[in-house]
């Protein structure tokens, strides 16, 4: 499994990805149309919420609150994950209810807590909008409909790939100066004592499986996760394993946003029983403490920070200054 993960990482990292900006002066594509739709509140009932309201570009298209607020300030139920690095994913949402980006794209629109917009209403708005009606004709050669709306949003999300982090510079370009010695030690811990590689591997440092890390106890922590979709008891508390790229700027963490910092996350994994004493269905991988030293925790965090794409270097610097 580890060898497969390393191979996938090397293959995935050499792929070239690009981001498109929506400008009147460039050729209109599904991705550029999707970007405009992503940032446009026209797709919400109140015309005040867009996809970008919860997926903030400056925070790697994630949110900064434990749960996001939708229309009429309705409070969400789970933390908003990053919308970046989705091209290689096979399941979407924390519970994996969608299996394609196209399926995923339309669900928040219809969710009454989020954008509260029936698809028929959304399509009607786009068809009655001269600019969008013309754009869909240009890109898809047909009027706006549910299928091509999903295609446009998904096409934009597929451009949000990041492969230019200090870690990539170190491992792929043999630039020893790209990361600190602490980060290098942290990578070794990630692959050994920390046991992180068991769930986080490949080009985006995640897995296609759903795992329970012990954040379900049926009392204070009642989100059943994957079991809500499959209705299987052995899926209680299991959630999608998120990608780790840009993780340093996508706090808070976990499906419920219960941890504000990476150090809190590391402390939890180091000894989960200190945080949640009676979990239900927790993965056996976490049955024994890691017994990390304070230096090892610092090194592991340094490695995770090194996964931040260079485009977010300024944001990372501000966040770390504020935290310190």
Q: Shortest CA distance to 213 belongs to which of 264, 276, 263?
A: 276
Dihedral Cα 150, 154, 157, 161, nearest 10 deg: 180
Known binding residue 55? Answer is yes
Handedness of CA 81, 83, 85, 87 (dihedral sign): positive
Residues ≥6 apart with Cβ < 8 Å to 105: 149, 150, 153, 154, 157
Known binding residue 199? Answer is yes
Could you tell me if 241 and 210 are in contact, meaning their C-beta atoms sit under 8 angstroms apart?
A: yes
Q: How large is the C-alpha radius of gyration of the chain?
A: 20
Strands (E), the chain: 210-211, 239-240
Known binding residue 54? Answer is yes
Give the integer Cα–Cα distance in Å for 72 and 56.
Answer: 19
How many CA atoms lie within 13 Å of 6's alpha carbon, on the beta-carbon side? 7
The three-class DSSP label of residue 105 is: helix
- Strands 239-240 and 210-211, by their bridges, are antiparallel
Give the integer Cα–Cα distance in Å for 202 and 27.
Answer: 34
Q: Which residue has the tokens 């986080």?
A: 200
Q: Which residues are annotated as a binding site for heme c?
A: 51, 54-55, 196, 199-200
Q: Which residues are annotated as a binding site?
A: 51, 54-55, 196, 199-200
């Amino acid at each position: 499994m580890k060898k497969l993960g390393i191979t996938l990482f090397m293959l995935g990292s050499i792929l070239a990805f690009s981001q498109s900006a929506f400008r009147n002066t460039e050729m209109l594509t599904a991705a550029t149309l999707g970007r405009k739709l992503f940032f446009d509140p026209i797709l919400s009932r109140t015309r005040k919420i867009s996809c970008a309201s919860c997926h903030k570009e400056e925070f790697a298209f994630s949110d900064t609150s434990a749960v996001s607020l939708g229309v009429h300030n309705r409070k969400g139920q789970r933390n908003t994950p990053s919308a970046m690095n989705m091209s290689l994913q096979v399941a979407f949402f924390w519970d994996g209810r969608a299996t394609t980006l196209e399926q995923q794209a339309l669900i928040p629109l219809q969710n009454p807590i989020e954008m509260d917009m029936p698809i028929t209403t959304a399509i009607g708005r786009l068809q009655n909008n001269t600019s969008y009606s013309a754009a869909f004709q240009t890109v898809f050669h047909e009027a706006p409909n549910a299928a091509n709306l999903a295609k446009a949003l998904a096409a934009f999300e597929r451009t949000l790939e990041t492969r230019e982090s200090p870690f990539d510079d170190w491992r792929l370009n043999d630039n020893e100066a790209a990361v600190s010695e602490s980060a290098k030690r942290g990578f070794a811990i990630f692959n050994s004592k920390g046991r992180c590689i068991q769930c986080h591997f490949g080009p985006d440092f995640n897995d296609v499986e759903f795992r329970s890390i012990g954040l379900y106890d049926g009392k204070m922590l009642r989100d059943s996760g994957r079991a809500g979709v499959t209705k299987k008891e052995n899926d209680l508390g299991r959630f999608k394993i998120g990608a780790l790229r840009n993780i340093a700027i996508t706090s808070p963490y976990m499906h419920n946003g219960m941890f504000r910092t990476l150090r809190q996350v590391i402390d939890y994994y180091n000894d989960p029983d200190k945080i949640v004493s009676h979990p239900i269905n927790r993965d056996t991988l976490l049955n024994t403490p890691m017994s990390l030293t304070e230096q090892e925790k610092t090194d592991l965090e340094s490695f995770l920070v090194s996964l931040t794409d260079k485009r977010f270097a300024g944001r990372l610097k501000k966040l770390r200054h504020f935290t310190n």
